[in-house]
Amino acid sequence: MDQFNNRKYIIGALIILLGIIFSVRLFYLQIVESKYKLSAESNSRRLEIVYPARGLVFDRNGELLVHNQPSYDLKIAPYELEAFDSTELCEILNIDIQTLRDAIQRVKRDPRERRNPFIKQLSPETFGKLKEKQYKFPGFYFSERTLRKYKYELASHLVGYIGEVDSNDIKKDSYYEMGDYLGVNGVEKSYENYLRGAKGRRYKFIDVRGREQGAYKEGRFDKDAESGKNITLTIDAELQAYAEQLMKNFRGSVVAIEPKTGEVLAFVSAPYYNPSLLVGRVREENYQKLKRDTIKPLFNRATMALYPPGSTFKTVNALAALHDSIIYPGTKFGCKLGYYARGVSMKCHVHDVPLDLVGAVKNSCNAYFAHTYKRAIDNPEKGNASENYEIWRNHITSFGFGNPLGIDLPSEKRGFIPKTGYYNRYYGENRWKAHTIISNSIGQGEILTTPLQLANLAAIIANKGYYITPHTVKDIEGIDTLDKKYMQKHWVTVDTSFFHYVIDGMEKAVNEPGGTAPRGRSNEVVICGKTGTAENPHGEAHSVFMAFAPKDDPQIAISVYVEFGVWGDRYGAPIASLLIDKYLTDTIGPERKWTENRIMSAILIPEGDGE
288 shares a domain with 208? no
CA-based nearest residue to 259, from 463, 491, 526, 500:
463
d(CA 486, CA 490): 10
CA-based nearest residue to 333, from 363, 376, 365:
365
Higher-confidence position of 284 and 56? 56
> What confidence score (pLDDT) does residue 610 get?
44
Is 264 a residue whose pLDDT tops 80? yes
> What confidence score (pLDDT) does residue 527 get?
98
Higher-confidence position of 498 and 80? 498
Long-range contacts of 109-115 (CB under 8 A, 24+ apart): 114/75, 114/76, 114/77, 114/78, 115/49, 115/177, 115/178, 115/179
The secondary element (H helix, E strand) that includes residue 109 is helix 97-109
Higher-confidence position of 7 and 272? 272
Is 480 a residue whose pLDDT tops 70? yes
Let me know if 208 is exposed, middle or buried by CB neighbors in 10 A (0-12, 13-18, 19+): exposed
- Residue 180 CB coordination number (10 Å): 18
414 shares a domain with 342? yes
Number of domains within the chain: 2
pTM: 0.87
Percentage of the chain lying above the pLDDT 90 cut: 65
How confident is the prediction for the chain on average, in pLDDT? 90
Mean pLDDT of 29-34: 54
Collapsed DSSP state (helix, strand, coil) of residue 191: coil
> Do the Cβ atoms of 117 and 75 come closer than 8 Å?
yes
9 domain-assigned = no
Per-residue pLDDT reduced to its tens digit, 414-466: 999 999 999 999 999 989 999 999 999 999 999 999 999 999 999 999 999 99
Range of the domain at 228: 46-72+144-233
pLDDT range class, residue 281, cuts 50, 70, 90: confident
Is 44 a residue whose pLDDT tops 80? no
Q: How far is CA 407 from the centre of its chain?
A: 8
CA-based nearest residue to 245, from 222, 270, 226, 264:
270
Mean pLDDT of 150-163: 95
17 domain-assigned = no
CA-based nearest residue to 189, from 34, 343, 16, 408:
408
Per-residue pLDDT reduced to its tens digit, 550-590: 999 999 999 999 999 999 999 999 999 999 999 999 999 99
473-476 and 181-183 strand pairing = unpaired
pLDDT range class, residue 3, cuts 50, 70, 90: low
Per-residue pLDDT reduced to its tens digit, 359-388: 999 999 999 999 999 999 998 888 899 999
CATH number at residue 554: 3.40.710.10
> What confidence score (pLDDT) does residue 405 get?
98
Per-residue pLDDT reduced to its tens digit, 79-122: 778 889 989 999 998 899 999 898 888 888 876 666 677 888 88
271 shares a domain with 171? no
388 shares a domain with 320? yes
540 domain-assigned = yes
401 shares a domain with 313? yes
432 domain-assigned = yes
Long-range contacts of 386-393 (CB under 8 A, 24+ apart): 386/420, 386/423, 386/424, 386/429, 386/430, 389/420, 389/423, 389/437, 390/420, 391/324, 392/320, 393/417, 393/418, 393/419, 393/420
Collapsed DSSP state (helix, strand, coil) of residue 435: helix
Per-residue pLDDT reduced to its tens digit, 531-557: 999 888 888 999 999 999 999 999 999
Percentage of the chain lying above the pLDDT 70 cut: 91
Is 611 a residue whose pLDDT tops 50? no
213 domain-assigned = yes
21 domain-assigned = no
> What confidence score (pLDDT) does residue 221 get?
80
pLDDT range class, residue 513, cuts 50, 70, 90: very high
> Do the Cβ atoms of 416 and 306 come closer than 8 Å?
yes
Per-residue pLDDT reduced to its tens digit, 210-252: 556 677 666 678 888 899 999 999 999 999 999 999 999 999 9
d(CA 178, CA 117): 10
Mean pLDDT of 42-60: 83
Q: Which residues neighbour 452 within 8 Å (Cβ) at sequence distance 6 or greater?
A: 255, 302, 303, 405, 407, 412, 470, 559
d(CA 506, CA 571): 17
d(CA 147, CA 109): 30
Higher-confidence position of 34 and 80? 80
Is 72 a residue whose pLDDT tops 90? no
350 shares a domain with 407? yes
Q: Which residues of 61-78 are buried (b: 16+ CB within 10 A; e: fewer)?
A: eebebbbbeebbbbbbbb
d(CA 308, CA 416): 9
306 shares a domain with 189? no
> What confidence score (pLDDT) does residue 207 get?
62
Q: Which residues neighbour 168 within 8 Å (Cβ) at sequence distance 6 or greater?
A: none
Q: Please say which residue of 208, 233, 258 terminates a domain.
A: 233
Higher-confidence position of 47 and 272? 272
Q: Please say which residue of 191, 206, 233 terminates a domain.
A: 233
- Residue 398 CB coordination number (10 Å): 18
Mean pLDDT of 13-21: 77
Mean pLDDT of 117-141: 85
Whole-angstrom CA distances from 580 to 64, 455, 547 are 23, 13, 9
164 domain-assigned = yes
Q: Please say which residue of 187, 211, 233 terminates a domain.
A: 233
d(CA 465, CA 498): 9
CA-based nearest residue to 454, from 443, 441, 446:
443
Per-residue pLDDT reduced to its tens digit, 315-370: 999 999 999 999 999 999 999 888 898 778 888 888 888 999 999 999 999 999 99
215 shares a domain with 248? no
271 shares a domain with 187? no
427 shares a domain with 349? yes
